[in-house]
A and B are shown apart, each in its own frame.
Chain A
Amino acid sequence: DQQVKQNSPSLSVQEGRISILNCDYTNSMFDYFLWYKKYPAEGPTFLISISSIKDKNEDGRFTVFLNKSAKHLSLHIVPSQPGDSAVYFCAATVGTGTASKLTFGTGTRLQVTL
């Protein structure tokens, strides 16, 4: 049972444009969501997170939107840069994210082209 789903395995975006990565979840107990970026041969790197009490969190070029009623979150990257090419995982947890396990989606491979 995949509780966190990323239905797009890959996405290609031109440099300078907006990248939108989507994530859906089924467990209504999840109340904290995170996005990680992963390069080959490296561990996932934390990008941005959002608590369920918010619907938007912004950090530089990265913005995460949360739609609780739809159980959907998205990561917007604008403007996209070639260095953003990586696999992006969304993750969800119950609690503050510290003491609880993360449930990951299957990832979306983003390719930013010149």
Chain B
Amino acid sequence: SAVISQKPSRDICQRGTSLTIQCQVDSQVTMMFWYRQQPGQSLTLIATANQGSEATYESGFVIDKFPISRPNLTFSTLTVSNMSPEDSSIYLCSVAGSLSSYNEQFFGPGTRLTVL
């Protein structure tokens, strides 16, 4: 399976600021996704990061709040903008469609965000 890293692993931020989370994969992958896991909740898909074009957002998530970039087949960023305490969550990227394992999604270690 692909090796996925995320930076930062955790952060504590002030209300009203923005944080950009990076996701790096060690091999080219077709699909990259961003999920959120709020405290005590399940994982919820925020958006699909599309290489070279705008991300595809799920209901309830908008580009102004969660801008996403995907400049190539191994890297993506998620920005959490104008943060509030409700944005405190674990943010995870996942990938699918690698040469070694085409059909499954694999997750990064996550970024634990706390907003004060």
By a beta-carbon cutoff of 8 Å, the part of chain A in contact with chain B is 4, 34, 36, 41-46, 49, 89, 91, 96-99, 101-107
Q: How far is the CA of A34 from the CA of B106 in the complex (A)?
A: 11
CB of B45 within 8 A of CB of A98, answer no
A49–B41 CB distance below 8 A: no
What chain B residues lie within 8 Å of A4 (beta carbons)?
42
Contact A99 B31 (CB under 8 A): yes
Q: B97–A98 contact, CB under 8 A?
A: yes
Q: Which 8 A-B pairs have the closest CB atoms?
A: A43-B107, A104-B43, A104-B42, A101-B45, A106-B42, A44-B107, A43-B109, A98-B96
User: 28 A-B Cβ contacts within 8 A?
Assistant: A34-B104, A36-B107, A41-B110, A42-B109, A43-B4, A43-B92, A43-B94, A43-B107, A44-B43, A44-B92, A49-B103, A89-B42, A89-B43, A91-B43, A97-B103, A97-B105, A98-B31, A98-B103, A98-B104, A98-B105, A99-B30, A99-B31, A101-B33, A102-B33, A102-B45, A102-B94, A103-B45, A107-B42
The number of chain B residues with a CB under 8 A from chain A is 26
Distance of B29 from chain A, by nearest CB (Å):
10
Within the assembled complex, what's the spacing in Å between the Cα atoms of A46 and B94? 11
Q: What's the Cα separation between A3 and B20 when bound, in Å?
A: 30
Flag if A42 contacts B30 (CB, 8 Å).
no
B1 within 8 A of A: yes
Point out the residue from B44, B94, B110 that lies within 8 Å of A42, measured CB to CB.
Answer: B110
Is B54 an interface residue when CB atoms closer than 8 A count as contact? no
Distance (Å) between the CB of B25 and the closest chain A CB? 13
Q: Smallest distance from the beta carbon of A49 to chain B beta carbons, Å?
A: 6
